[in-house]
Structures are given as C-alpha cells and as structure tokens.
Structure 1
Amino acid sequence: MNFLNKIYQIFLSEFAKRRIEKTILYVALFGFFIHLILIYLSKFGVVNLSLESELFKNPISAIYTPFSFILVYEVYLLIYYLPKSFTTYITKQYEIITLIIIRKLFKDLSALELTSDWFQIKGDLQFTYDILASVILFYLIFQFQKQGMQKSTQQKDNKLKIERFISRKKIIAIALVPIFFMMAFVTLFNWTSDVSLGSNDLASFETINNLFFDEFFTVLILVDVVLLLISFFYTDKFHKIIRNSGFVVSTILIRMSFGVSGLISTILIVLAVLFGLAIIIIHNKFEKNTLPNNV
C-alpha cells in the first residue's frame, strides 16, 4: 500500500494537479497559436495542407484546439476526484460532455449562414439545438452539484468501511491515469499523422468531435460498473445501490449519444444529465428519511 500511496501522490496529489493544470494551460495556448498560424498560412497559400476540413477554414475554428486540451484536463480532474467524491466524479462526466458541445459551437460559429431560412439549414438548426442544450446542461449541472453537496447520514461505525472503499477507488484512479493519457496520445498521434500525410480517409468533423471521447465514455461505463459492484461490499442500502446504478445508466446514455448525430444526440445528452439529477434528488430524499438507528 505504501507503493500505491507514493504513485497516488505523484499523479493525483494537489501538487500534481497544479503542475498538470499549468502544463496543459501552456500547451493549450501554444496549440491555439499554432492552429491560428496554420489557418492563415493556408489562407494565403503559403502552405498547402491538402485538407478540406472546416477546422482550417476560419480563424474562429482555432478555438477548437485549446478547448480540446481543456477537455484533456477535465478528464484528469475526473480521475483526480474519483477517490474523493463520487458525486463530483459524476459531475465531471457531465461537465466533459457539456464542454464537448461548447467546443463544437465554436466550430459551428465559423460556418453559420445568417439568412431568413435559418430553420431550413441543417448546420444552423444544429447550432440552435446545441446552444440551447448547453444552457440547459449548465443549469442541470448546477442543480446536480447543489444536490451533491448535501451531507450523507453516515454512522460512525461505517467509517472503516468508507476508508476501505476510498482506498479501492484510489487503486482504480491510479490505473486510469496511464490508460486515459495513452488513449489521448494515440488518438492525437493517429489524427495528426493523417493530417500531415494528407490522407483522403480523414474523418468527418462530427467524427473528429467524438475522437477519444467515445472510447473514453466506454471505459467510464466499465469503471462505473466496477464501482457499483465494489460498493456492494460496503453498503446494502437500497437507495445507494439505485443511485450508483442510475449513474451507470446515465453514463451509458452519454456514450450512446456518440453513436448518433443531430437532434437525437443532443436529446440523449440532456436526458442523461436530467436522469442523473432525478436519481440524486430522490437519493437525497431517502437519506433525509433514513434514521441513524435504522441503518
């Protein structure tokens, strides 16, 4: 356990979080300026990227790059909070999918067609769906965090069980660090290789927007299921089992949104967060009605 604690301190301590935050911020700024330079070099014919991608047509699209690195940092924060707070861990999942929508909005802004046929143009209509969804998700996440702040009614004799559960979650978090960063590196390497080689098989923008995160949420589903199964060793409370099971369903709905496009994808994402919020509200009502001597 001493070895695991040392690994945990290296990658998931407060000091490590600050260091990674600063590093990703610098990389995000650097990536933004590089993307911007490439757009203008391509625009003036200085370089030929052999690309038809919408990411290289308008300077506003350059915002897509730093947001991608911010999302990588959000992935790290999700792992960071996993041992500390289960509800914060779930909140980070919701924040990540919301930021993916916000990132897509910056790309869509550069391709808007401001005409009287707004609701007849597919791209403009999707922009409308996404901008409404981002506001709704922002509010739902606020409510979810508010519900998550309510203290659980725990008996003192459960303290040892809670500590054991936290130690198991630390092991999972340590394992996730190399897995997720390796996934991010492989995804970035493969995509940049295709770009530099001018591959004709480049993914559509919709696919690019989902790169890494479709696999990421697949792994999260497996992690959530493992956490659910482990929780059975430490609690037999019905409302907690339903809460943890509900969060798994919520993550599955988010993952399903990557398999479809347009309005259906947006609806699935909003439904996932709304379902998670409903689950935690009902869970908290159970907590308030549970007397300590009946636990």
Structure 2
Amino acid sequence: MIGFFRRVVAVYDSLEHFWEHKRTERAAANLLIAVFLGSLALIELARQGWLPETVAALLPKSHFYAISVAFSMLLGIEVFGLVFSLANSVSVSVGKQFEILSLILLRHSFKEFIYFNEPLVWEQASKPVLHILSNAGGGLLIFFLLGVYYRLQRHRVITQTAIATAEFIASKKIVSLLLLLIVSCIGVLQGYYFLSGQAAYDFFSIFYTVLVFSDVLLVLISLRYSSSYPILFRNSGFAVATVVIRLALTAPPYINVLLGVGAMVFAIGITVAYNRFEKTAQPSAGTAECPLSN
C-alpha cells in the first residue's frame, strides 16, 4: 500500500509541476490569444462566404462569440487548477470553486452579446443589459466576498502523526487524479459533439455535479483520520455549498446570482463558526502545522 501511495504521489507531483510551471502558463496564455484571434478570423471568413458551406455551418455569425469561446477555454484552464488544489487544502479548493463561479457569471454577461446584431443598437440591448448587469454584479460581489473568505482561513492539522498526514495527502491526490481523468474525458466528448454538429452539453454543470461527489468522498476519507465534529461539519457544509453552486449554474437570470452569492455567504459563515469553535484548540504535542491538512 505504501508503494502504491508513493507511485500515485509521484505521478501527481509530476503533473502538478508541469501544470504550474511558468512555461505552461505562458503556453496556455498564447493558446487563448491564438484561439480568440482565430475565432474572429474564422467568423469573418464565414460571414463573407469564403469558407466551404460544411465548415461555415458550424460557425456562428456574431463576432462576439469569439469572446465566449476564449472565456470558456480560460474557465477550462481554471478547472484544472481547481482539480490540483483539491490535494492541497479543502478550504482553498472551495475558494477556487467560487473563483470559477465568478468567472462563469462574467462569461454569462459576455454570452448575452452573441444574440445581438452588429452594430449594437439599444432596442436590442435594453432587456439583456439587465442580465448583463446582474451577472457582472454577482461576479463582482463574489470576488469581494472571496477576499473575506480567504482572510478567515486558519489551516489546522487533522491527523496525529506524520505518517497519517502523508497518507491523507496521498488519498486526496488519488481523488484529484481521478477527477482530472473524468474532466479530461468530459472535455474530449464535448469537443467531439461540437465538431460533429451534435448538441453539446454544459461542461461546467457536469463538472460541478462530479465535484459534489468528489467533495463527499473527501469528507468520508477525512473520517479515517479525524472524526472531530467541527471538521466533519465544516467539510460537509462546504460540500453543500458546492451543491448550491451547481444549482446556480442552471438557474434563470437573477436567481443564479442569488444562489451563487448565497453559497459564498454560507461558506464564509461556516468558516467563521469553525474558527470560533476551534479557537482554543492547540496542535497536539509533536505535531507541526501543515498547510495541506484541511
């Protein structure tokens, strides 16, 4: 079992090192730029009738769609960052979930533009502009509340020995690798459906559905190392916040913002209650603080 954990940790550490390397970050940024400019060029070529009909049929007619494509890819990159954060800290991974939610709300604002003709006229924008302001305002509010959430975090160990800590971290890395595999498969299938002209599903809705199950799994795994009530309640509460985020992704305008902001306030409330509950707790003798613990 120890050998298995070591191999999993080695694979995970290699992937995480590759993903967080500066060269990878620059390559991802360059890819986003190329996709954005390429989308603009292809849309214009299709509008001018300079592409084969089979290809032009797959392309939208609005230039604003290029913004949606680039933003969707940016969110996909952020999803991989969230997957890797699962092994580091439960609280940090929850924060990453809300970061992605705030960006999704901003993407919803941009998506309203794809239904407009060019050039923009106020008669068309008068109603969608309320949706744009709602989504953008919700994203801004979550962005602000995230600063409060991160400042409240107090990382504490939940294991009693160094060996148990290493096993707990390795277990979370196994979950992260499984989630990474699932996310990759979902992305490949969505790309296939798009290229074949079939109806594509909402990638982020499915991702957050899978994330709910992974969060519950992490709660159950943590019970192997600590059955402390405040830790159990906090981690279970964070899983509930993920469920609310999932509901926000498919809710109608205005309701989605209320659910997203409500989930953020709920996560802050859990953190405040957890800190007060544990404010007198001290690390066990011989046990060092570990930022990877919870």
TM-score, normalised via structure 2 length? 0.83
Greater CA drift, 42-51 or 268-277: 42-51
Secondary structure of the residue aligned to 2:122 is: coil
Supply the AA of the counterpart residue of 2:209: T
Match of 1:192 in 2: 195
**CA deviation map 1:249-294 (0-9, x unaligned):** 000011112332212122112211221111112112222133557x
Distance (Å, rounded) in 1 between the aligned partners of 2:213 and 2:158: 30
1:114 to 108, 117, 122: 122
By how many angstroms is 1:155 displaced?
8.2
1:128 to 133, 137, 155: 133
Match of 1:212 in 2: 203
Matched, 1:245 2:252: no
1:104 to 102, 108, 112: 108
Match of 1:87 in 2: 91
**CA deviation map 1:57-93 (0-9, x unaligned):** 1x34312222222111111111111111211111111
Map residues 1-295 of structure 1 onto 2, 5 A cutoff: 1=4, 2-12=6-16, 14-18=17-21, 19-47=23-51, 49-50=56-57, 56-57=61-62, 59-109=63-113, 111=116, 114=122, 118=126, 121=127, 123-148=128-153, 150-152=154-156, 154=157, 157-194=160-197, 202=199, 211-291=202-282
Supply the AA of the counterpart residue of 1:79: V
Indicate if the aligned counterparts of 2:158 and 2:226 stay in contact, CA closer than 8 A. no
Q: How many residues align?
A: 273
- 1:156 to 1:236, Cα distance in 2 relative to 1, 3 A: closer
Share of identical aligned residues, percent? 28
**CA deviation map 1:98-144 (0-9, x unaligned):** 111112222324647536994xx2x2221121111011011111111
By how many angstroms is 1:180 displaced?
0.8
Distance (Å, rounded) in 1 between the aligned partners of 2:205 and 2:130: 24
- 1:142 to 1:155, Cα distance in 2 relative to 1, 3 A: closer
Higher helix share: 1
Greater CA drift, 181-190 or 220-229: 181-190
Supply the AA of the counterpart residue of 1:139: F
Distance (Å, rounded) in 1 between the aligned partners of 2:102 and 2:168: 29
By how many angstroms is 1:243 displaced?
0.7
Secondary structure of the residue aligned to 2:277 is: helix
- 1:137 to 1:16, Cα distance in 2 relative to 1, 3 A: closer
By how many angstroms is 1:161 displaced?
2.8
Secondary structure of the residue aligned to 2:250 is: coil
By how many angstroms is 1:225 displaced?
0.4
Higher RCO, 1 or 2 (CA under 8 Å, sep at least 6)?
A: 2
- 1:233 to 1:50, Cα distance in 2 relative to 1, 3 A: same
TM-score, normalised via structure 1 length? 0.83
- 1:34 to 1:155, Cα distance in 2 relative to 1, 3 A: closer
- 1:143 to 1:56, Cα distance in 2 relative to 1, 3 A: farther
Indicate if the aligned counterparts of 1:228 and 1:244 stay in contact, CA closer than 8 A. yes
By how many angstroms is 1:158 displaced?
4.3
Supply the AA of the counterpart residue of 2:165: I
The two structures, once aligned, show a CA RMSD in angstroms of 2.6
Distance (Å, rounded) in 1 between the aligned partners of 2:279 and 2:87: 24
Q: Which runs of 5+ in 1 are unaligned?
A: none
Supply the AA of the counterpart residue of 2:203: F
Distance (Å, rounded) in 1 between the aligned partners of 2:15 and 2:159: 31
Distance (Å, rounded) in 2 between the aligned partners of 1:113 and 1:159: 64
Distance (Å, rounded) in 2 between the aligned partners of 1:136 and 1:279: 18
Supply the AA of the counterpart residue of 2:122: L
